[in-house]
A and B are shown apart, each in its own frame.
Chain A
């Protein structure tokens, strides 16, 4: 696809973006089929709109706007954009929750690309089982197809105990049943589906059942949020990639006695925050991930 080649050339020439991570199965057989095309999408996560705390982010009211502007400034527009949860910071007040969700929706309404997919995080959905979130953004789990890739959004947060639940697991199994064994499948989730670090609640209680359902498929990649940092992990042949946050970073799993957010560094503002692009090329089950800062240094 001409756009994708332009974009890769542009990244190379301009030196934009952060580290590029190749995800998936190297050297896999050609998966190209008629009607497929190269494309890329953007993943943003954990905006926590409504959070306040100057020690962690003195620009909590501005960072999301900067991220939106940065996505709008990408040299080549993505095919779509996905927010993998925690759009808002939690509040016990249902009216305030709706106010934050409405403000978030209005801010990201400034994205030039209107093909935006949303997912809830536990901060958005766990206190009312996703009720307010669904009023604004619709179904909390769903699937769609795009240029030869089957995308599945899994809701592992509307249950406050971090369960996907039997009903959704049955839906997932039925949804995937229509896919060939070598279909390219991308899963979006908020929490990790595997036990990343249960001591910090970085897990999904029945995530192993979801992985079991995904296992028969040869080309599966999971993109998630929740842990406010980049992290890459394999469960068998399935790659899992977490995204940075748009509010404050969290420490590496188990690296500190407590899961205390990383303090804002005035010498390096917005350090550890960012979003990513994910490029899918025809004929490959691998994805090229490029990390971007929310604000230029």
Chain B
């Protein structure tokens, strides 16, 4: 499957299908130049989670290629990404919307434990 299709799936999730179910864990991540807060999150393998992403300044991106998940984070709006971590390990996420001088440093980690 092509990356754009995978991203489209992730974005579709962000657009509505990712609204948290009653039992689902929600993690809020705030993006601002040039960091995420928190920049590291720990998830449990097989347990779905919804990331609620907001931006405090400019349009940012969120991309977690290992989970085929991505979203654009527009200031004033909440972008939702649903993840079901299927592997144990540490995985990168990063900003994939060029946002300024230190854009290339804007990254974080998803730790998945058993």
Name A residues whose Cβ lies closer than 8 Å to a Cβ of B. Answer: 90-92, 122, 126-127, 157, 160-162, 195, 198-201, 203, 205-206, 208-209, 258-259
Contact = CB atoms under 8 A, between A and B. Distances in A.
B97 A199 contact: no
Given A122-B98, A259-B104, A160 B65 contact: no
* 6 closest A-B pairs by CB: A126-B98, A160-B98, A198-B65, A208-B2, A161-B97, A122-B98
A200 B107 CA distance: 10
B72 A206 contact: no
Main secondary structure of the interface of A (DSSP, over half): loop
Most buried by A among B3, B92, B99: B3
B46 interface: no
Given A90-B101, A198-B63, A198-B65, A162 B4 contact: no
Contacts of A122: 98
A161 B3 contact: no
B78 interface: no
A205 B63 CA distance: 11
Interface in B19-70: 59, 61, 63, 65-66
A162 B3 CA distance: 13
13 contacts: A90-B100, A90-B103, A92-B100, A122-B98, A127-B98, A160-B98, A161-B61, A161-B98, A198-B63, A199-B66, A201-B94, A205-B3, A205-B96
Contacts of A126: 98
B61 A198 contact: no
Contacts of B101: 90-92
Contacts of A209: 4
Contacts of B7: 205
A203 B98 contact: no
Interface residues of B, number: 21
B96 A201 contact: yes
A259 to B, nearest CB: 7
Contact of A203 (B3, B99, B100): B3
Nearest to A261: B104
A165 B11 CA distance: 17
A205 B97 CA distance: 11
B63 to A, nearest CB: 7
A198 B3 contact: yes
A83 to B, nearest CB: 19
Contacts of B104: 201, 259
A209 to B, nearest CB: 7
B100 A162 contact: no
A157 B7 CA distance: 18
Contacts of B99: 160
B100 A205 contact: no
B51 to A, nearest CB: 18
A184 B27 CA distance: 52
Contacts of A160: 59, 97-99
A181 B94 CA distance: 40
A208 B4 contact: yes
Interface string B1-22: 0111001000000000000000
Interface in B72-109: 72, 92, 94, 96-101, 103-104, 107
Nearest to B2: A208
Contact of A161 (B92, B96, B100, B107): B96
A92 B4 CA distance: 29
Nearest to B5: A208
